[in-house]
Chain A
Amino acid sequence: RKEVEQDPGPFNVPEGATVAFNCTYSNSASQSFFWYRQDCRKEPKLLMSVYSSGNEDGRFTAQLNRASQYISLLIRDSKLSDSATYLCVVNPLGDTGRRALTFGSGTRLQVQP
């Protein structure tokens, strides 16, 4: 089983739609969680961190469910510019130990006019 799993999509949605992605992780000791966005042929960039209590940044809402070991990303009022691949990222130990961030393979979103 992969440490971090995502539905690869693509999710094809019309402009203005609400779309949600889930990401499951296998290491119950994981402490830090993030969503990164990657545009085609570009480097990943941080979209938002995911906090235990859930957090919102404009049209984007991230939530963490530790009991079921998944994080989610909700995008409201989708824009054409939201079209990208969204990467789920987990810090497996959450400390300064010698493990590194683990990336999901990404969920592709295509917003259509």
Chain B
Amino acid sequence: NAGVTQTPKFQVLKTGQSMTLQCAQDMNHEYMSWYRQDPGMGLRLIHYSVGAGITDQGEVPNGYNVSRSTTEDFPLRLLSAAPSQTSVYFCASSRSTAGVNTIYFGEGSWLTVV
């Protein structure tokens, strides 16, 4: 069972570079989201999508773009990397946001911006 797959697992970027974190799920989930996790701050929502073609901003969207052209894929783009974007990024999916629906996470992407 693949579940939620995100790549790369580790990445080092120079300030100003751009990159895309890939996320794919094979559970036909409507809802997908990206979080970043920093020490002492918990998981913070960057962007989310409630279905193909629909995206919306979360708590900390600045510096990131997303798209949802298919149900399966939800890439996160860093437009011009900054040291403040050094973090662990988790992609997640769930059947919906209603009721009791388990949210499944990818294994995380460790990003360092130097």
Contact = CB atoms under 8 A, between A and B. Distances in A.
Nearest to B108: A43
Contacts of A99: 97
A105 B106 contact: no
Interface residues of A, number: 29
Interface in A17-75: 31-32, 34, 41-46, 49
A104 B42 CA distance: 6
Interface string B93-107: 000111110110111
B56 interface: yes
Contacts of A100: 33, 45, 48, 58, 97
Given A34-B100, A43-B108, A87-B42, 19 more contacts: A8-B40, A31-B99, A42-B107, A43-B90, A43-B105, A44-B43, A45-B105, A49-B100, A94-B98, A95-B98, A96-B98, A100-B45, A100-B48, A102-B45, A103-B44, A104-B42, A105-B40, A105-B41, A105-B42
Interface of B: 33, 35, 40-45, 48, 50, 56, 58, 90, 96-100, 102-103, 105-108
